[in-house]
Structure 1
Amino acid sequence: MRAFVVDAFTDTAFAGNPAGVVLLDSPADPAWMQSVAAELRHSETAFVVVGGPPDEPKPLRWFTPTTEVPLCGHATLATAHVLGGDQRFDTRSGVLTCTALPDGWIGMDFPADRAEPVEPPEAIAAGLPGITVEATAQAATKVLVLAASAAEVRAVRPDFTALATVPSRGVIVTAPGDRPGVDFVSRVFSPQVGIQEDPVTGSAHCTLATWWAERLHRDPRNSDFVGEQASARGGTVRMALRGDRVGLRGRAVTVLSGDLLV
């Protein structure tokens, strides 16, 4: 079967977030998919069934090297890129629609994931040395931490042993943008699911868009944002908040294609 490595949320090879994409003729055994994801060792590998009826959404699942996840933005973008842009996918998070845009970007329609204020989990202070925690909130799968500045977000060197004890699938650290054209910066750490730092995280921006709408005094029913994920590889995510949905826009580059033999 065909397999690909795609750098997502970038138009430059070896930047953004690499994802594996495996094309299936029929649904595969989850244990086998987990083994393939562990072999490829990207933050997520997408498995999409392309052998079904052409007018039906294609079944799509995502696996980290250690576990299946309910939603992944960059691997969805990578899959749509491989398949030609305009796609509908049947996933654990509902039907996700991807659209090829005239400027070469791909748009994705995702559910918003709003975060509610909570007390900081005990491990946050130890796990994020140097971060001035101004607020914390809990989304469906990740804890969001508001830092005092983008400089703190860029500079933090997490204690991943401590962060792995946070009762969540990951931790988002964010602050207001520090350069023109960027509304906010973020980084995402998910040692709980085998990913120390995710280079660019589409699903996290489903939370970030809703969080920053209030703090940047934007309309929570209809607002556009630009986010920079300040990992070593880096990436830019354009967002359109539309009530309970978030439109994510990104580009992608295929860096490898071949045959999966086992």
Structure 2
Amino acid sequence: MITDNTQKLKVPFFAGNAFTTGPYGGNPAVVVFLQDELPDEILLGIANNFNQSVITFVYPPTPEDTEVNGQTASFRIRWFSTLREIWLCGHGSFVAAASIFDTPGLVSAGVQSLRLKGKHNTLTARRVDDGQIELTLGAKDVERVTPAQEKEIGDIVKRSIGDIQILSVWTDKKFVLVEVEEKGEGDLASRKVDTDTLIETGYPSNIITAGSSDPDVAFISRVFHPAQGLAEDPVCGSAHGLLTPYWSKKQGFGDKQVSVKQVSPRGGGLDVKWNIQEGTVTLRVGLSFTAVLDWHAGRIRWLRYPNCPPYQHFW
């Protein structure tokens, strides 16, 4: 039960879109900054109040997580859906990094990279010269499922999105990756998907991917998490920890940076690079804006939004 003291809790939050440079595309995220630990049920309640796919909670660094050489700062981070805590969220981490970099006083002027330390994953975020942000996460290997599993999962996918050629099915235990062949340009993007049917695959997250007919785009994908309460993920950063090595091996682009797209209804794009020797994947994205709610001053401050005034009163 939420107490009166918790109801009066006032904390800054940020809202932004990752994987896009426009105000209405990409993947929306809310980032909440907390000074102290709160019970998980309170964090879950906050996530439900915002009713976004994922809420990112950022905590100040502990004494052992202070800045390293004046160039890297560490923060603790957790991600919650409306149902439960989740193990990783790429787009929430991007917006968290942008919020930290763009808010005066959170890090010193010389800091160019962040270490975002989750319970199960530690990510590195870096700001680059063109104003974009790079996020580095672990690369994931996938294994092909058995022929019987491939037929079973393929049949489920066909019932979900309609008749389509299934080329292969792979998994890393958390994601199932299904490569399909499009019937024509825009085929995968235009399909209506019965996401509830995908729960039958037995995997928390489902990736459907295909090679791209656009010579400037290496591959396309759509990602669904219906078992976790998110029907379709507009643009899933963590899925590209699997997709990038998979398509690099298949297409032979090695550790070259390539552009890719997620063709959900909102849509979004990013540049990806498989750092083969380090066993990581680097994602580079644009972010359209971040809105900062300042409870004490009674105002919203917009960041990374080209046509808005510095401050806008909301009461």
Normalising by the smaller structure, the TM-score range is over 0.9
- The residue number in structure 2 matching 1:105 is 132
- Structure 1 residue 142: Cα displacement: 1.1
For structure 2, list consecutive stretches of 5 or more residues without a partner in the other structure. Answer: 1-10, 68-72, 102-111, 297-315
Larger-gyration structure (1/2):
2
CA–CA separation in structure 2 for the residues paired with 1:259 and 1:43: 23
Note the alpha carbon deviations across 1:194-227, whole angstroms, 9 max, x for none: 11111111001111101101110232xx232211
1:210 counterpart = 2:245: yes
- Structure 1 residue 166: Cα displacement: 1.9
- Structure 1 residue 156: Cα displacement: 2.2
Q: RCO higher in 1 or 2 (8 Å CA, sep ≥ 6)?
A: 1
Asked whether the equivalents of residues 82 and 254 of structure 1 are also in contact (C-alpha less than 8 Å), the reply is: no
Note the alpha carbon deviations across 1:171-215, whole angstroms, 9 max, x for none: 111111122311011111111111111111100111110110111
1:71 corresponds, among 64, 85, 88, to: 88
Number of residue pairs aligned between Structure 1 and Structure 2: 259
- Structure 1 residue 253: Cα displacement: 2.6
- Counterpart of 2:24, as a letter, is F
- Counterpart of 2:21, as a letter, is D
Note the alpha carbon deviations across 1:129-177, whole angstroms, 9 max, x for none: 2332111111242111111025332122222221122211111111111
- The residue number in structure 1 matching 2:54 is 44
1:6 corresponds, among 16, 25, 28, to: 16
1:123 corresponds, among 145, 156, 162, to: 156
- Structure 1 residue 32: Cα displacement: 1.1
- The residue number in structure 2 matching 1:228 is 261
The answer to which of 95-104 and 150-159 deviates more is 150-159
Superposition TM-score, scaled by structure 1 size: 0.92
CA–CA separation in structure 1 for the residues paired with 2:38 and 2:251: 44
Superposition TM-score, scaled by structure 2 size: 0.77
CA–CA separation in structure 2 for the residues paired with 1:126 and 1:7: 31
- Structure 1 residue 8: Cα displacement: 0.6
The answer to which of 53-62 and 179-188 deviates more is 53-62
Change (3 A) 1:159 1:103: same
Asked whether the equivalents of residues 195 and 232 of structure 2 are also in contact (C-alpha less than 8 Å), the reply is: no
Change (3 A) 1:130 1:154: farther
2:113 corresponds, among 86, 89, 92, to: 86
1:16 counterpart = 2:26: yes
Identity of aligned residues (%): 27
- Structure 1 residue 92: Cα displacement: 2.8
CA–CA separation in structure 2 for the residues paired with 1:37 and 1:131: 36
The answer to which of 210-219 and 189-198 deviates more is 210-219
Note the alpha carbon deviations across 1:6-49, whole angstroms, 9 max, x for none: 11111111111001100011222211111111221211110010
The answer to which of 128-137 and 11-20 deviates more is 128-137
Structure 1: which 4+ aligned runs deviate by more than 4 Å?
A: none
- Structure 1 residue 255: Cα displacement: 4.7
- Structure 1 residue 51: Cα displacement: 5.7
- Structure 1 residue 240: Cα displacement: 0.9
1:180 counterpart = 2:215: yes
Asked whether the equivalents of residues 49 and 59 of structure 1 are also in contact (C-alpha less than 8 Å), the reply is: yes
For structure 1, list consecutive stretches of 5 or more residues without a partner in the other structure. Answer: none
- The residue number in structure 1 matching 2:171 is 138
- The residue number in structure 2 matching 1:240 is 273
- The residue number in structure 1 matching 2:308 is none
What is the aligned-residue RMSD (CA, Å)?
A: 1.9
